[in-house]
Structure 1
Amino acid sequence: MTALPPWRPLLRGAREREGRSPAARWLQLATVAPDGTPRVRTLVFRGWADGAALDLFTDGRSAKPAELRQQPAVELCWLLPKARCQFRLRGDVLTLPTDLEWDERLRHWQGLTPAGRALWGWPEPGAAFDASGGFPSELADGTPLPEHFQLLRIELAQVELLELRDHPHQRRRWRRDDGWTEERLNP
């Protein structure tokens, strides 16, 4: 097993300080739209694929997948208010081999609760609202994997940590191409 990058225990500790708050799993994903303008959305952290690759989900009918095919480089911002820190994660959305992608999507789908799967039973995101479109609160176990349930696996290349507790604030950076060696930065 590969050793964890040195920033991973720091992120885990910061998330633990958030307690059971749902915000401990929320992070913001920045992408670039086809017209070159920025887009930011909040997504839910779904787990680590390995030491420096994380999994997120998206609806394939939304704009994100097309944006990411055009420009797979992303930045994530994970603000953990109780820990008073912010992690900035840069990387690329990976294109997985078809069989692996299917297996990973299915594994994640089966791991969701019925309420967690419900969003993928809703009408197309961003389309005109239609109350008769149906917004289920649950999708039962055994519900087939929808094609629009998409996995975003992001391989990280750089991580910055800004700690907002002390004066002055503390800022550190780790880069994969430097073997995740810690570098201190001005805040």
Structure 2
Amino acid sequence: MTALPPWRSLLRGARERECRSPAARWLQLATVAPDGTPRVRTLVFRGWANGSALDLLTDGRSAKPAELQQQPAVELCWLLPKARCQFRLGGAVLNLPTDVELDERQRHWQRLTPAGRALWGWPEPGAPLDAAASFPAELADNTPLPEHFHLLRIGLEQVELLELGGHSHKRRRWRRQEGWAEELLNP
């Protein structure tokens, strides 16, 4: 088994300081739209695929999948206010073999609560609101995996940590190509 990158224990510790706050699982995903403009949105961290790849879920009917197909490079920002730190994670969406992707999507689908699955039973994100549309509060455990339930597995290439406590702030960087060796930076 490969050793975890050194920043993983720092991220885990920072998330633990957030206690049971839902915000400990929220991170912002920055992408590039087809017209070249930036897009940012908040997603929920769903777990680690290995030492330096993380899983996020999205609705395939949203703009994200098309943006990521055109430009798979992303940056994630994970602000952990109680820990007074910000992690900036850079990488790209990984293309998984079809059978692996389906198995992983199914695994994530089964791990969601009925309320967590409900989002994929809602109408298309960003479409005009139809007053008669149904927005279920839950989808049962036996609900089939929707085609628009997408897994975003992000392979990380660089991680920066900005620690915001005290004077002065501290900043560090780790890069995969450097064997995840720590590099101290000006804040």
Q: What TM-score do you get using the length of structure 2 for normalisation?
A: 1.00
SS at 2:92 equivalent: strand
2:132 and 2:13 map into 1 onto residues whose CA distance is 44
Q: CA RMSD in A?
A: 0.4
Matched, 1:22 2:22: yes
2:118 and 2:60 map into 1 onto residues whose CA distance is 15
Q: Look up the match of 1:102.
A: 102
Q: Which 4+ runs in 1 deviate beyond 2 A?
A: none
Identity in percent: 83
2:63 and 2:135 map into 1 onto residues whose CA distance is 20
Number of equivalences: 187
2:16 and 2:65 map into 1 onto residues whose CA distance is 31
Residue-by-residue CA offset, 1:140-175 (whole Å, 9 max, x unaligned): 011000000000000000000000012100000000
1:89 and 1:161 map into 2 onto residues whose CA distance is 9
2:131 and 2:11 map into 1 onto residues whose CA distance is 40
1:88 and 1:141 map into 2 onto residues whose CA distance is 35
Deviation of the 1:131 alpha carbon: 2.3
Q: Look up the match of 1:183.
A: 183
1:8 and 1:111 map into 2 onto residues whose CA distance is 23
1:39 and 1:74 map into 2 onto residues whose CA distance is 10
Residue-by-residue CA offset, 1:114-158 (whole Å, 9 max, x unaligned): 000000000000000012110000000110000000000000000
SS at 1:172 equivalent: strand
Q: Look up the match of 1:10.
A: 10
Q: What TM-score do you get using the length of structure 1 for normalisation?
A: 1.00
Q: Which runs of 5+ in 2 are unaligned?
A: none
Q: Look up the match of 2:150.
A: 150
Residue-by-residue CA offset, 1:64-111 (whole Å, 9 max, x unaligned): 000000000000000000000000000000010000000000000011
Letter in 2 for 1:61: R
Q: Look up the match of 1:85.
A: 85
Residue-by-residue CA offset, 1:28-85 (whole Å, 9 max, x unaligned): 0000000000000000000000000000000000000000000000000000000000
SS at 1:133 equivalent: coil
2:161 and 2:80 map into 1 onto residues whose CA distance is 11
